[in-house]
Structure 1
C-alpha cells in the first residue's frame, strides 16, 4: 500500500477530534505526557495525534515526539467552541436583521424567479447547503454551451467524486463543451483521475501545479461558483461581469504556468543537495513561515506525509532543529518555489 493510501486509511480509521481520542491514541498521548516524549514509531498506529497537533516533532531530535501541554489542548478546545458559538450568534443576528429588512419591503420584494436585481440575474447569490449548491451548478451546467474552467485543490481526487460528476461531464462533452481543469501535482497519482481523462478524451484538458487556490467552477465566463467557508457548505454564485472576468484572468495565468498531465513535472535546480520537487515546494513554504497543516493543505497532501518530507529535507540539509532547517533552506537557495528562480 502506498504512503498516500495508508494515510487516507489511517485518517478514516480515526474519525474524531481532540476532545474524544481513540483508545490507542489516548494511551500514547498519556504516555507522552508522563514521560515528556515518545519515539516517533509509537505514533505510527495513531496518526491522529500528529494530525490533531497533540504530538509534534522534537526540534532537537526528529526521531522523538513531544506532547502538546494538556492545558494548551483544553484552551484550544474551549477557544474553538467559543468561536463556533460566536459565529452562530452572529449568523442569527444577521438573519434577524435581514428578516426585519425584508418585512419592510412589502410588495416591493420581487419573487426569486423574476427579473431585476432580486431575480435570477443577481450579481451575487449565497447558496447555503450542499443541495442548493449542487442544484445551482447543475442549472449552470445545463445552460453551458462553450467551456467550463475548474480549479480542483487538494490531493488525489476520490473516485466516488469523479464518478458522481461523470454524467454531467459526459453531457457537456456530448454538447461540444470544452473543459479545462487545474489540479495539484499530487492528483497525478490518482488512477481515478487518469481513467476519467482517458474516458473524456479531447473534451477535457488537465494541468497541474504545486499548489492551486480554492475551488472554482466557471461556466461560459458568465457565472462562477466559489466556496464561502472552509467546509464548502456555503458557496457564492457570481454573475457580475467584472468579477467573472477577474476569475477567468486568474485561471488563464495559472494555466500558462501549469504542466499538462501527460508531461513530466520538471525537476528544479536544487544546488546539488538532492532535494525533490515536492521537498523544494515545502521548503519555500516553510521559509514563508507556514505551519505543517497549512503546507499540507496547500499542496494537497496529508499532514503526516508533509512531516515525513520535512524530516527527509532536514536530513539532506543536515539540520537538527527547525530553526537550523530554516537557515539551511536559505543558504541552499530553496526559499523560493520551484520555477521562481527567474522571477524578479
Structure 2
C-alpha cells in the first residue's frame, strides 16, 4: 500500500460504515486493541472516533466501546431535537397573534404571484404538476434543450402519464436538428405526449389543467409569474391553441411554398424580420437558432438576391416577391 493510500480518508457517515471499518472495529473490540498499521485500510475509524491511541504503546489503538460511541451520537441528535422543539414553540408564539386576525378574514387568492429565482420557480412548477390531473400545455421557444432539462421532462411526463394526464408541447422548427429532442420525442412516443413545431413562437408558457399558468417576467427567466385568474389562464390557453393549430407535428416534415429565387422558408422568415429592422441577435432569438446560423442564412439570402451590402439586401427584399410567397 502506498503512502497516499494509507493517508486517504473514507468520507462517509457513521451510519454508512464501510466493510473494512466494520471488520477492523469488530476485531479491535474482541482483542481489546489493534495494531495501528492494520487500520490503514479504514482511516475512517479514527475520523469517526471509534479508535483512539493506546496510552501505553503508540503503535497500538484501542476501541471506544460501542455503547459509549452510540450514546455520544444520540446525545447530539437529542440536543438538535430539543433545539428544534424550542424553535417550534417560539415560532408558534410569534405567529399566534396573527392567527386570530387571519381567522376573521378569509385568506386572499392571489391572481398573480411573483416567483424569483430558479429554486422558487421550479418548486412552484413541481407543485402545480403534482396537482395536475388532465393536461399540461407548454410553449418552449429556442433551440434544442439541454440533456438535464430533457431528462427532467421525461421524469415529469411519465409521472403525469401515470395519472392519465397528457402533455402537448410546442417547439420551434430548429429542434428538428436537435438529436436530444428527437430522442426525447421517441422515448415519450405513445405516452400521451404530442410535440409540434413552428418557425416562430412567443416566450415560454406552461398551463396546468387550465387552472394555473406560468410565464417569464424577465428575459433571463430569473423571475416568473404564477397566474391563477381564470380569465388570464383561459386567454393563455386560447393563445396556445391558436399556435397549436398552425404547428406541424414533429413526426411530419415541414413544407414551405417555394419561391422563384430558391429562398427557403427559414430565410424568408429572416428576410421579414430584417425588413422590420431587427438585428441579427434578435432574429436568432426569435427563430430559436444561434447567431452564427442566423448569419449563415443571411449570407445565403444575400447571395440568392445578388446583394453586395446589408443596406442593399433590405432594398432587394422589399422589391422582391419573397415576402408575398
Pair in the same fold by TM > 0.5:
yes
Give the superposed CA RMSD. Answer: 1.8
Displacement of 1:125 in angstroms is 0.4
Distance in 2 between residues matched to 1:267 and 1:189, nearest whole Å: 17
Q: Which residue of 1 aligns with 2:323?
A: 335
Local SS of the residue matching 2:189? helix
Bigger Rg over Cα: 2
Local SS of the residue matching 2:323? coil
Contact between 2:258 and 2:264, CA under 8 Å: does it hold in 1?
Answer: no
Distance in 2 between residues matched to 1:321 and 1:239, nearest whole Å: 50
User: Which gives a bigger RCO, structure 1 or 2 (Cα 8 Å, sep 6+)?
Assistant: 1
Displacement of 1:153 in angstroms is 0.6
Q: Which residue of 1 aligns with 2:134?
A: 146
Displacement of 1:309 in angstroms is 0.8
Distance in 2 between residues matched to 1:200 and 1:308, nearest whole Å: 33
Q: Which blocks of at least 5 consecutive residues in structure 1 are unaligned?
A: 1-105
Distance in 2 between residues matched to 1:320 and 1:126, nearest whole Å: 49
Q: Which residue of 2 aligns with 1:201?
A: 189
User: What are the equivalent positions in structure 2 for 1:1-344 lying under 5 Å apart?
Assistant: 110=102, 116-117=107-108, 121-202=109-190, 203-270=192-259, 272-335=260-323
Distance in 2 between residues matched to 1:325 and 1:207, nearest whole Å: 32
Equivalenced residue count is 226
Local SS of the residue matching 2:245? helix
Distance in 2 between residues matched to 1:108 and 1:194, nearest whole Å: 55
Contact between 1:116 and 1:122, CA under 8 Å: does it hold in 2?
Answer: no
Distance in 1 between residues matched to 2:200 and 2:266, nearest whole Å: 11
Displacement of 1:157 in angstroms is 1.6
Distance in 2 between residues matched to 1:109 and 1:315, nearest whole Å: 72
The runs of at least 4 aligned residues of structure 1 exceeding 6 Å deviation read: 106-109
Local SS of the residue matching 1:335? helix
Distance in 1 between residues matched to 2:287 and 2:207, nearest whole Å: 22
Q: Which blocks of at least 5 consecutive residues in structure 2 are unaligned?
A: 1-97
Displacement of 1:221 in angstroms is 0.3
Distance in 2 between residues matched to 1:207 and 1:316, nearest whole Å: 30
Displacement of 1:108 in angstroms is 8.8
Distance in 2 between residues matched to 1:215 and 1:291, nearest whole Å: 21
